[in-house]
Amino acid sequence: MFSKPAVSVLLICFLCEVPIFVSHAPLNHEQGKVFQQQQQDQETTLSTSDFMKVKLDITREIVGGLAMADFTKIAQGAEELKKLSLESGWNVLTTPDYLQLSAEFRGSTDRLRQAAASKNIDGTTLAYFEVTLNCVRCHKYIRDK
Ligand code: HEC
């Protein structure tokens, strides 16, 4: 689908920062840790906004994994994103479109995990690109609503 140079350009773009696509305030790593801790404690005291920001934190971890060809880190990130999308806090909307977008997002996280398992950096980069497209599609849907 993409030539190797195209993949390189994509990778460089992603390395610059995910907010090319998802522009939001920076987030510190503590929030991710707090989130995990609270999940362990079975508490749901995080606001929707903080819950949603965790996605960006995990996405950055995945970008770091791509940069270092750390396939374990990428696979873990993909798994965490999928888990997050199954939490009740994810379903702020229950329209059929939102559920469909969520299902497509989950599918792309599965493909990212599988691509990482195959340890092919170009394939994994493209799979990450697909996940990012799904982030953007859902946010566009929410904005247009
Ligand atoms: C199926 C829908 C959906 C997908 C896919 C999705 N999001 Fe979101 N996202 C939301 C919703 C809903 C909100 C909350 C919007 C609001 O509060 O108005 C949100 C908010 C956010 C916010 C803003 C948090 C804040 O309030 O500051 C960030 C950052 C974010 N998402 C990152 C991501 C990233 C990164 C991905 C992909 C890895 C992603 N999202 C995928 C639905 C989605």
CATH assignment of the domain containing 22: 1.20.120
Cα(15) to ligand 1 centroid in Å equals 20
- What distance in Å separates the CA atoms of residue 72 and residue 75, rounded to the nearest whole number? 5
Q: Collapse the DSSP code of 68 into the 3-class scheme (helix H, G, I; strand E, B; otherwise coil) and give the result.
A: coil
Domain count, the chain: 1
Cβ contact 48:89 at 8 Å: yes
- What global pTM score does this model have? 0.78
Residue with tokens 């965490």, as numbered in its chain:
80
pLDDT grade, residue 20 (50/70/90)?
A: very low
Range of the domain at 89: 4-144
Mutate to test the pocket of ligand 1, among 17, 139, 140, 145 (most ligand atoms within 8 A of CB): 139
Q: What is the mean pLDDT of the chain?
A: 81
Would the pLDDT of 109 be above 90? Answer: yes
Distance 97 CA to ligand 1 centre (A): 15
Residues 6+ apart with CB under 8 A from 125: 7, 10, 11, 14, 66
The pLDDT tens digits for 27-62 are 344 444 444 544 444 445 678 899 999 999 999 999
- What is the distance in A from the centroid of ligand 1 to the CA of 135? 7
Q: Of ligand 1's atoms, which has the minimum distance to the CA of residue 98?
A: 1
Q: How far is the CA of 121 from the centre of ligand 1 (A)?
A: 26
The rounded distance, in Å, linking the Cα atoms of 94 and 108 is 20
Residue 3 has a pLDDT of 53
